[in-house]
Amino acid sequence: MKFTIQRDQFVQSINHVSKAISSRSTIPVLAGIKIEAYKDGVTLTGSDSDISIESFIPSEVGDEQFVEIEEEGTTVLQARFFAEIVKKLPEATVEIRVNEQNIAQISSGSSVFNINGMNADEYPRLPEIEEENVFQLKTDLLKALIKQTAFAVSTSETRPVLTGIHWSMEDGTLTCTATDSHRLAMSEAKVESEAADLSFTNVVIPGKSLSELSKILDDSEEHIDIVVTNNQILFKAKNLLFFSRLLDGNYPATKNMIPTNQKTMVQLDAKKLLAAIERALLLSDAKNNVVNLKSIDEEHLEITSVTPEVGKVTEDVTSLKFEGEELRIAFNGKNIIDALRVIESSEVAIQFTGAMSPFIMRPADRDYMLHLFSPVRTY
Amino acid sequence: MKFTIQRDQFVQSINHVSKAISSRSTIPVLAGIKIEAYKDGVTLTGSDSDISIESFIPSEVGDEQFVEIEEEGTTVLQARFFAEIVKKLPEATVEIRVNEQNIAQISSGSSVFNINGMNADEYPRLPEIEEENVFQLKTDLLKALIKQTAFAVSTSETRPVLTGIHWSMEDGTLTCTATDSHRLAMSEAKVESEAADLSFTNVVIPGKSLSELSKILDDSEEHIDIVVTNNQILFKAKNLLFFSRLLDGNYPATKNMIPTNQKTMVQLDAKKLLAAIERALLLSDAKNNVVNLKSIDEEHLEITSVTPEVGKVTEDVTSLKFEGEELRIAFNGKNIIDALRVIESSEVAIQFTGAMSPFIMRPADRDYMLHLFSPVRTY
């Protein structure tokens, strides 16, 4: 194998596939990046067997040449060293040459590295995906759906299915839900019309997979093909394939958890609420982040928290709207902040159904996203 | 005590004095910031008994009012909470009011904090300094001297005196030296003429003190008064006093360590040398950072390193000048990089006196700074 490649493109592709590579892999070859050089370009692959990422650098795009292939071939190089080396090379192009003993010579200007490679035949094959259930999303919408839900997945392995984000499709609407059983985030989007008769449920994608995917994708309006199978999901963007295993197990029926009645509704300025809760958290216990909320009158809410040895904070928050009964409730302030950070509206509406019942927060002007929170008992 | 203060000025002063406060202090009152409000302004003090910092916010500067004092007084407030609270307050001004039970009420707009204070009488007094031995430096020069030496102090407590930077003054020249016994950094500066007859030696300032001082000071040409006593040093800038304890013990006589003869001298491009050693470190052992250097001919040096399981790197570095004998030496590459990062010249000169002897690196165009390195035995 021998080729010369533009370093910037190479570094970007290496960064992308490195996102799939775990330093704790028990399969030695998976600590490497697979490199395949054929006439039409260079393909890099990284995998930790949960996530696999394939990035393609075409030899030419328009008039620009990215790769010059002198001899086709394949190898696998230690990801950690290889990525660092290519990043630090001095010139704009890099030459890679692999001999029959799988020793790779990486050279650029006055710098020459000789690195032990592994046999590419030992590298596991990517999952074979039947492209039966396919739909499309714009990249920026996919990234928004991930951002609005991924933060709410469980970080505990006691119920593994809750570390994933549940996707379901019905009547051309994709619904994404994440919950750690104390709070729930839900976001919906219409998909492109061709997929209107596609429907599925209980597709649970590891939160980590979607977070890594989101880091790789640029904010753009380009479409991504999404292929769903029984145990895998595949995202196909330009020159990029991203495979993730799905999580086993039944995701809880979250629809039943969302209260439909309401005893109190308040509408608030999102930024001011965020700042007030952030200040209240300064004096709440670091473990449970308990913050208290009380309605004073129709125009004022009071947010308080106390650390007995240190002191107390009292915040006055203006209600833009107030409907229903007086209110006194306690909650995990950090969970509310996580949700406020992904709600892009300037005003939020919060619906309460009593001090001991879950409550809902939404953007005041939209109904395609929803956050649900359990209250905290303080007595 | 009751006063209203501009939040931005207050936050800056709190940040400055917080640099002296250790979260592991065994004296409870030192976990706090002392606040003194008198007619002419507010003084904040932080201390960990090694370093003490006093910051003054004058009531008025020119036409601008920073503080409005309604009632004079003193208190001590928990630094960690107080700093976070003031940073997050919503409005441009903050009102502080302390009652007779030492409860402080901190309010700003719709936000009110009540915090338990401590009695300011319990706060230790700052050291009393006799202003006998005083000299002046421009702030930016002081910062440069710290930057050029502080990185080379020892981080190990086996010889505590080596965790400090040695300052000596003779014939109007201040010499700053730091060494961890494997490498040494030395930098000199002429001081203002009035102090020409001031002379001292064995003033050893903790590296940490000077690093913290450097973070607080702005790059400016304003003068700083420096007062040296037997066991303390005091830096007096505008509205800021910075006290540091000096380290006990005799600092080694470093002048004798610096070789005066030379067998080989090379002159190199500093940036290219830095980049080549950074790449060589990718394949050197992470513990000793051993990098090998060999002269090929009068125009080429070769830098190499090897990790047997992974591979080998070979770098070709152009000599801009080469004088003397052939050369083959090994050294800790990270130490050379630390020094190259603080040398601001584009070219460096390195003088070797043999494979087993310490060698010197200096900026090629200046002689007021010097870096000394021990070689590493590789057999």
Least Cα separation, residue B83 to chain A (angstroms): 11
Select from B78, B90, B312 the Cβ nearest to the Cβ of A310. Answer: B78
Q: Report which of A93, A134, A117 is spatially closest to residue A9, judged by C-alpha positions.
A: A93
3-state SS assignment for residue A207: helix
Which option is the CATH number for B258-373: 3.30.420.10, 3.90.1150.10, 3.40.50.720, 3.70.10.10?
3.70.10.10
Both tokens assigned to B63 = 């036409």
Nearest by CB to B316, which of A78, A88, A110? A110
Asked if A311 and B81 come within 8 Å (Cβ–Cβ), the reply is yes
Categorize the per-residue pLDDT at A23 as very low, low, confident or very high, splitting at 50, 70 and 90.
confident
Report CB contact under 8 Å: A276, B81.
Answer: no
**Which residues in chain A touch residue B269, judged by CB atoms under 8 angstroms apart?**
none
Distance to chain A for B178, nearest Cα, Å? 30
Measured between CB atoms, does A111 come within 8 Å of chain B? yes
* Residue of B313, B316, B318, B337 to mutate for A, most A C-beta atoms under 10 A: B313
pLDDT tens-digit map of A44-98: 999 998 999 999 999 999 999 999 999 999 999 999 999 999 999 999 999 999 9
The answer to whether B108 contacts chain A (CB < 8 Å) is: no
Q: How far is CA B347 from the centre of its chain?
A: 25
The dihedral region occupied by B279, where left means phi > 0, alpha psi between -120 and 50, and beta the remainder, is: alpha
Contact B312 A89 (CB under 8 A): no
Query: A114 to chain B: which residues are within 8 Å by CB?
Result: 311-314
Fold that domain A2-122 belongs to in CATH: DNA Polymerase III; Chain A, domain 2 (3.10.150)
Residues of B in contact with A277 (CB under 8 A): none
A310 vs B7, B114, B163, CA distance in Å? 22, 8, 36
Q: Which residues in chain B are closer than 8 Å to A283, comparing Cβ atoms?
A: 81, 113
In this predicted model, what pLDDT tens digit does every residue of A7-19 receive, in sequence order? 999 999 999 999 9
Per-residue pLDDT, B166? 98
Least confident range of A117-121, A129-133, B16-20: A129-133
Closest-CA distance, B2 to chain A, in angstroms, reads 18
Closest Cα in chain B to A111:
B315
Query: For residue A81, which residues of chain B lie inside 8 Å, CB to CB?
Result: 282-283, 310-311
Helix-then-strand count for chain B, H and E = 6, 28
Q: What is the pLDDT of residue A123?
A: 96
Structure confidence by residue, pLDDT tens digits, A267-325 = 999 999 999 999 999 999 888 899 999 999 999 999 999 999 899 999 999 999 999 99
Question: Within 10 A of B192 (CB to CB), how many other CB atoms are there?
Answer: 12
Chain B residues in contact with A84 by the CB 8 A cut-off are 282
Note the CATH number of domain B135-179+187-228+245-250.
3.10.150.10
**B310 in reach of chain A (CB within 8 A):** yes
Nearest in space to B196 (alpha carbons), one of B172, B162, B226, B160: B172
> CB A81 to CB B283 under 8 A?
yes
DSSP symbol at B194:
G
Q: Give the chain B residue whose CA is nearest to the CA of A284.
A: B81
Interchain contact A282–B (C-beta under 8 A): yes
What span, in angstroms and rounded, lies between the C-alpha atoms of A284 and A311? 10
The superfamily CATH assigns to domain A133-255 is: DNA Polymerase III, subunit A, domain 2 (3.10.150.10)
State the count of interchain CB pairs (< 8 A) between A and B: 90
Across the strands, what pairs with A244? A51, A233
Interchain contact, B283 vs A113, CB within 8 Å: yes
Q: What percent of chain A has pLDDT over 90?
A: 89
For residue A26, name the pLDDT band (cuts at 50, 70, 90). Answer: confident
Chain A touched by B278 (CB under 8 Å): yes
**The domains spanning A2-122 and A133-255 adopt the same CATH topology:** yes
Nearest to B81 among A78, A114, A310 (CB): A310
Q: Name the more confident of A217 and A24.
A: A217
Instruction: Kindly report the average pLDDT of chain A as a whole number.
Output: 95
Give how far A116 is from chain B: nearest CA, Å. 6
CA distance A311 to chain B (A): 4
Per-residue pLDDT of chain B in tens (379 residues, 90 and over written 9): 999 999 999 999 999 999 999 988 889 999 999 999 999 999 999 999 899 999 999 999 999 999 999 999 999 999 999 999 999 999 999 999 999 999 999 999 999 999 999 999 999 999 889 888 999 999 999 999 999 999 999 999 999 999 999 999 999 999 999 999 999 999 999 987 666 689 999 999 999 999 999 999 998 999 999 999 999 999 999 999 999 999 999 999 998 889 989 999 999 999 999 999 999 999 998 888 999 999 999 999 999 999 998 999 999 999 999 999 999 999 999 999 999 999 989 999 999 999 899 999 999 988 889 999 999 987 6
**Would an 8 Å CB–CB cutoff place B283 in contact with chain A?**
yes
Q: Do B81 and A312 touch (CB under 8 A)?
A: no
SS3 B185: strand
pLDDT at A270: 97
H or E segment to which residue B223 belongs:
strand B223-228
The answer for residues whose C-beta is within 8 angstroms of residue B181's C-beta and 6 or more apart is: B154, B159, B162
List all residues 6 or more positions away from A216 whose beta carbon is below 8 Å from its beta carbon: A16, A19, A53, A240, A242
Would you kindly state where each structural domain of chain A is located, as residue ranges? Answer: 2-122, 133-255, 258-373
Taking CB atoms and an 8 Å cutoff, what residues of chain A touch B314?
111-114
Residue B378 is predicted with a pLDDT of: 77
A314 reaches B (C-beta below 8 A): yes
